[in-house]
């Protein structure tokens, strides 16, 4: 087998909590809590409620919890439903190093399979850390096509790896699961995001389903390509794949990808976040109102300039509109999930200001760089003042981290319609003790609906 796949397979089989830095374990718990919060919050959307019902009906009785809902389903269908819900509000974490959103592809599958098998919290965390690391590194090695959305794609490998870990696969079986999963990667474009077509939310749901299936296919005796990632991401879903980049620094203590992530404190696409931090800084340090503004100039990485529609037609599209996000931040002075609710989209002041936001590409900017700004904001006021702010790492990024208190506050806010105060506190406490939890079902029993 290719050397890099041999390394990845060995890494997965040897991942043990007792060998990991405490900061890595702590980071994994934070990512787990954040992802559970995103899944519970998204479960309230009407289409996701119906999807959960479909999962329970189609999948038949199974032991895996449909988060935020009554009933359960087999792991395949629980991962499909829970991951779809988890991405719907654009509050799931991500990773600038590997591109995309590793946790929402890995954790729903890992949680469902762990619950199905009655795995311990320790085993669950090990599967999450391994799956997150591998899928993020495959993302690093991929030069993704500009038209391809990173949701789905290599995320399928992450859910397959997490499942393989929970099933006790050896190195060869793990590599086979990776190769099979690569061939099952969804081919997804950016267009649904920009139009606000909610089929886009199925991207990680499909990855969770297909990643579990990929591991199950190994047990059935199916084989994959000799080098699935290179074949798929070098031709079909990418313009190139660098195997060496995928394993550079693999396994270095305290440097795991799950602790180099970012958490979302704005309820929208990452491409908005450095910009919104800049806007909020200007609002906090200067005195001006929306009517005082002549124009707002935003410089951003070229890849973000697809998000320029000032009149997004629905909630999802608004989360992928830089002009709308900037305008609502200025007009309403917040960017939580309520700022993007359907009833907010037709606000006259927000719509009017959005048309005065100019988006310009800076060819030097790249979301994987930390030595150059990822956003520059210039607010030109009618009185002649020009207020500027540059942002390198947005708040919530590992280089500008959110506090533990902020993450718990975010969890409580997102889950307010699903959990009461006591229920939320019990989930936070249980996730904090995952490494000593005898059975992950002690957590999942808190996440359904009575």
- Rounded CA-CA distance 63/75 in Å is 7
H/E element holding 365? Answer: none
H/E element holding 375? Answer: strand 375-381
In this predicted structure, the answer to whether residue 450 has a pLDDT above a threshold of 70 is: no
Tokens standing for 167? 């099933």
Under the phi-then-psi rule, with left for phi > 0, alpha for psi from -120 to 50, and beta for the rest, what region is 333?
left
| CATH topology for the 3-265+403-444 domain | 2-methylcitrate dehydratase PrpD (1.10.4100)
Could you tell me if 172 and 9 are in contact, meaning their C-beta atoms sit under 8 angstroms apart? yes
227-272 tens-digit pLDDT? 999 999 888 788 899 999 999 999 999 889 999 999 999 999 999 9
- For 270-391, the fitting CATH number among 1.25.40.420, 3.30.360.10, 1.10.3210.10, 3.30.1330.120 is 3.30.1330.120
Could you tell me if 149 and 190 are in contact, meaning their C-beta atoms sit under 8 angstroms apart? yes
**Closest alpha carbon to 65 in 16, 116, 105, 17:** 116
What does 303-336 look like in DSSP terms, one character per residue?
Answer: GGGG---SS-SSHHHHTT-HHHHHHHHHHHS--S
Tokens standing for 353? 């200001």
> Looking at residue 238, what is its pLDDT?
81
pLDDT band (50, 70, 90) for residue 55: very high
Cα 88 to Cα 13, 85, 269: the distances in Å are 32, 5, 11
In this predicted structure, the answer to whether residue 99 has a pLDDT above a threshold of 80 is: no
70-84 tens-digit pLDDT? 999 999 999 999 999
Could you tell me if 305 and 275 are in contact, meaning their C-beta atoms sit under 8 angstroms apart? no
- Give the mean pLDDT of the chain: 96
- In the chain, what percentage of residues exceed pLDDT 70? 100
Residue ranges of alpha helices (H) inside 151-290 are 155-166, 171-183, 191-195, 202-220, 228-231, 243-247, 273-285
3-21 tens-digit pLDDT? 999 999 999 999 999 999 9
384-422 tens-digit pLDDT? 999 999 999 999 999 999 999 999 999 999 999 999 999
Residue ranges covered by each domain of the chain: 3-265+403-444, 270-391
């Amino acid at each position: 087998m290719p050397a890099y796949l041999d390394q990845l397979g060995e890494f997965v089989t040897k991942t043990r909590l007792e060998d990991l830095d405490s900061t890595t374990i702590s980071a994994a718990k934070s990512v787990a809590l954040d992802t559970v919060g995103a899944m519970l919050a998204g479960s309230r959307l009407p289409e996701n409620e119906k999807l959960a019902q479909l999962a329970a009906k189609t999948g038949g009785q199974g032991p895996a919890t449909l988060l935020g809902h009554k009933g359960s389903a087999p792991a395949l269908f629980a991962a499909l439903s829970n991951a779809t819900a988890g991405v719907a509000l654009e509050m799931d974490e991500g990773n600038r190093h590997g591109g995309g959103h590793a946790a929402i592809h890995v954790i729903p599958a890992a949680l469902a399979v762990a619950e199905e098998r009655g795995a311990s919290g320790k085993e669950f965390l090990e599967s999450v850390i391994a799956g997150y690391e591998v899928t993020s590194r495959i993302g690093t090695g991929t030069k993704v096509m500009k038209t391809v959305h990173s949701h789905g794609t290599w995320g399928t490998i992450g859910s397959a790896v997490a499942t393989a870990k929970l099933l006790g696969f050896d190195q060869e079986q793990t590599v086979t699961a990776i190769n099979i999963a690569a061939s099952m990667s969804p081919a997804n474009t950016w267009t649904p995001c920009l139009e606000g077509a909610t089929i886009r939310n199925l991207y990680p749901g499909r990855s969770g389903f297909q990643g579990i299936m990929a591991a199950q296919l190994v047990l059935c005796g199916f084989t994959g390509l000799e080098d699935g990632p290179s074949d798929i991401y070098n031709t079909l879903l990418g313009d190139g794949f660098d195997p060496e980049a995928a394993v550079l620094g693999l396994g270095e203590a305290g440097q795991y990808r799950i602790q180099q992530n970012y958490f979302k404190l704005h309820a929208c696409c990452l491409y908005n976040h450095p910009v919104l931090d800049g806007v909020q800084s200007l609002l906090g340090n200067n005195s001006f109102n929306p009517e005082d503004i002549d124009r707002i100039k935003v410089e951003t990485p070229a890849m973000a300039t697809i998000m320029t529609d000032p009149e997004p037609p629905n909630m999802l599209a608004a989360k992928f509109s830089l002009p709308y996000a900037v305008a609502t931040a200025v007009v309403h002075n917040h960017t939580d999930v309520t700022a993007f609710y359907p009833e907010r989209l037709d606000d006259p002041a927000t719509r009017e200001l959005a048309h005065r936001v100019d988006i310009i590409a800076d060819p030097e900017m790249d979301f994987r760089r930390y030595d150059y700004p990822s956003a520059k904001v210039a607010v030109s006021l009618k009185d002649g003042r020009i207020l500027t702010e540059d942002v390198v790492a947005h708040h919530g990024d590992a280089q500008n981290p959110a506090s533990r208190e902020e993450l718990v506050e975010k969890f409580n806010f997102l889950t307010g319609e699903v959990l009461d105060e006591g229920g939320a506190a019990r989930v936070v406490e249980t996730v904090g003790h995952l490494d000593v939890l005898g059975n992950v079902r002690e957590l999942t029993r808190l996440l359904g609906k009575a």
